[in-house]
Chains A and B, each alone.
Chain A
């Protein structure tokens, strides 16, 4: 099956297979899901690489992302323009990086980018506070939030500059037992 499909050329499918952790069937299925988001916008025929981008407001309505508190950040991180408008390449990239078979190192890099709200290559205290507030939807008191952020930085900061660089983050994630099992999206 799939020999009769006209969505992608053979070379395109092979390129996708090499650049992601998906098989042919899954890539075609992903295209179907992408098209579902905006059927009037996304063409069925992708053989000539159309430059179509789906706005973030449509992407975050997907059931896999709908309940995720970080959905806006995820979509922004994987989109090429940084605003959340995703082409099909970005779409496939996102789910490939977050799939079960993607390696820990790749997930760590993208996790760092997602949690770095102000995109300055450091997870500073404000980034942490924003993360925590998104997680608990403001149910913790501000003192508790500050205390938890202080303790988190204290645990993970290796070079004692009171913010987390990528090296600190990588080291901390390598010891976090839940990261691999929690940080993946099934599609």
Chain B
């Protein structure tokens, strides 16, 4: 009989439950989920056996049978492998319908068989596709050693490799490929360079004749010299239209549209990828922040196979729990703050925020100065020596990297004085670092723009400074190229020259300083910011340097291996764990901010600044954007009017109003749902209390008529022979409620 009860009995045979509770429908739904403890007992047989032993009343048998039939039909509809049964039962369930189906028509049988085979085929295909994924084994190894938090960083890196590859394929197939195949398909290129004004003079810095080797190296690193007049940069694409034998290919339009396309493609891909993470984040209820339950039940990473990692995970869980307890204490402290203390804290926060803004302003100003100086020195064309020239070229990159190195340290020191809760501290510091990183690129571009549009006269003749920047897009492309190369060099150099010696010092050094410094921790947020910074540069630079995505693909490919080696050799997992779930959302959120930031300079370059008249595909237009209206003007009248209507202000305003209305509706809906959830929650509590109250009353009602024949029900527990029962549900299960079986004629409906 112990085998047949709903709840598992321990070895002493004690049933630690109330048989009356067994008959409740909510517990019956658990019945099919539990596996039977005895070998080979059928599900139906077990429940029927139990009923007979407890002296079932007729109506209970009927209800039981009805419930079982409902469950069988439910099970039949669900996939076998989703059931929480053990293997023998699953196979039996699988075979039962098969045996039943012998009498089904052959059409139905064939249909079921094909459905099953198709499902199996689809599973095999999925397995095959996932085995083709890049770096599968490396990531598996990292997951086992460091857990799922760091794994998310590497899968993010893999995603960026794929994204850059697709952007490059897009640009290549629409912009570069037509130019390459022109000689082979007997097409010819038109490029109207009539009216030779001053604007059309191109002073390129390409060298002729024999040059030193280190000049070539310098050119490779700075994007100038022999690299300037190659497919690498915008200036080389001196093609307006290509006339193939059968069709005309408008390369200028294709260049513009490919730019817009790759921005849209990136946006859609990132949003799609972040959709799952976002849904999960939304579901998390804010007022009942489930930090404790989440840590206890979902905290341990079941993938860990390494002993050291397990030890560190335990430590990090312990640290997290301690931090949460601290947070509780601090929350109570904050709630108890007096007015005077609050004023003091707010004053300190205002001062420190002003200080932070001052630091940021100082960094931005230094970037501006560095860019200006670098551009001027490059324009003077006075070659001092190789190293100094290189430093001058890379001055903005150096300043940006220094600023991005110093500011996080400063921020983490400042935040200690601002007296926030620990979780908020982490998030706030991170936000400041993100802002610093991404805005530094913006400042660089702004200073470039001010240089390009600043002329000696008051207003520029060509719309830009044609004397110094005869092909300004190539110059901007070169700056982006330099930033990318320098970023990669820095990552490589820091790994080799900082992290590796640090590991050696800590391992072999005996002094206290080595012990205090400690082994390198793989800080996920800083690493993610690094690669998001690189990706933002790639997005901005692709318009000016169409081969940049290919360079970035190779760069991220190499960074994966550098980081993996550094992780395994030099690093230990950080004690401040970064959660896998929220981290995916964080990565993609920062990437979206980078994308939004990247759109801004491109929009300004396309639509605002006059395109250079000496190079590039847009020489016949005032701005790059005008290629689009020019092409549209060849469309039929109706289409033109429709497209102009779409881009007019009236349409934009009404679209904006409709979007706002939709947003308000959705917000109201969410608020209503939240209210309903709270009401249901309260109702659940009341229902639970009702249930317990009713069972108490039932026990009291049946108490005086109890008989002493309990032995048939509880064989192995002589201490339970006396009809003692307690009418309260305490958490101590020694005092479980025992109900003696009611006399046969008392059909007491529950």
Task: List the interface of chain A (C-beta within 8 A of B).
Answer: 15, 17-21, 23, 63-64, 66-70, 78, 80-82, 89-90, 92-93, 96-98, 103, 105-106, 109-111, 115, 118-121, 124-126, 128, 131-132, 135-137, 139-140, 144, 147-148, 151-152, 155-156, 158-163, 166-167, 169, 172-186
Contacts and interface: CB of A to CB of B under 8 A. Distances in A.
B668 interface: no
Contacts of B579: 177-178
Interface in B634-670: none
A66 to B, nearest CB: 7
A182 B300 contact: yes
25 contacts: A17-B120, A19-B80, A64-B305, A67-B310, A80-B86, A81-B39, A105-B82, A109-B33, A110-B84, A119-B8, A119-B10, A128-B296, A140-B318, A144-B321, A156-B293, A161-B688, A166-B30, A167-B26, A175-B290, A177-B280, A179-B294, A179-B298, A181-B581, A182-B302, A186-B303
Contacts of B35: 80
B317 A175 contact: no
A63 B309 CA distance: 13
Given A121-B17, A177-B582, A181-B148, A89 B88 contact: yes
Given A166-B30, A178-B580, A118 B16 contact: yes
Given A63-B305, A82-B8, A106 B82 contact: yes
A178 B6 contact: no
Nearest to B280: A177
Nearest to B95: A15
A23 B685 contact: no
Contact of A135 (B7, B16, B280, B296): B296
B293 A158 contact: no
A172 B8 contact: no
A68 B300 contact: yes
B17 A120 contact: yes
**B10, B33, B283 — which one has the most chain A CB atoms within 10 A of its CB?**
B33
A19 B731 CA distance: 37
B698 to A, nearest CB: 17
B1 to A, nearest CB: 16
Contacts of B325: 144, 147-148
Interface of B: 6-8, 10, 16-17, 26-27, 30, 33, 35, 37, 39, 80-84, 86-88, 90-91, 94, 116, 120, 123-124, 127, 140, 143-144, 148, 280-281, 283-285, 288, 290, 292-294, 296-307, 309-310, 314, 317-318, 321-322, 325, 328, 579-582, 681, 684-685, 687-689, 692, 729, 731, 733
A66 B304 CA distance: 9
Nearest to B692: A161
Contact of B684 (A70, A137, A158, A176): A158
Contacts of B124: 23
A72 B623 CA distance: 71
Nearest to A79: B86
Nearest to B315: A139
Contact of A115 (B10, B17, B26, B297): B297
A185 B300 CA distance: 11
Given A19-B87, A131-B296, A185-B303, A121 B7 contact: yes
A78 B280 CA distance: 29
Contact of A21 (B39, B81, B689): B81
Contact of A159 (B6, B80, B684): B684
B8 to A, nearest CB: 4
Contact of B10 (A118, A128, A158, A173): A118
Contact of A177 (B116, B281, B302): B281
A94 B303 CA distance: 14
A92 B321 CA distance: 34
A90 B688 contact: no
Contact of A136 (B88, B143, B321): B321
A166 B689 CA distance: 17
B84 A66 contact: no
Given A121-B27, A176-B293, A183-B302, 6 more contacts: A18-B80, A19-B90, A82-B37, A136-B321, A152-B292, A177-B579
B80 A176 contact: no
A152 B116 contact: no
Nearest to A64: B305
A162 B688 CA distance: 11
Nearest to B577: A178
Contacts of B299: 135, 178, 182
A67 B305 contact: yes
A184 B297 contact: no
A81 B37 CA distance: 6
A178 B305 contact: no
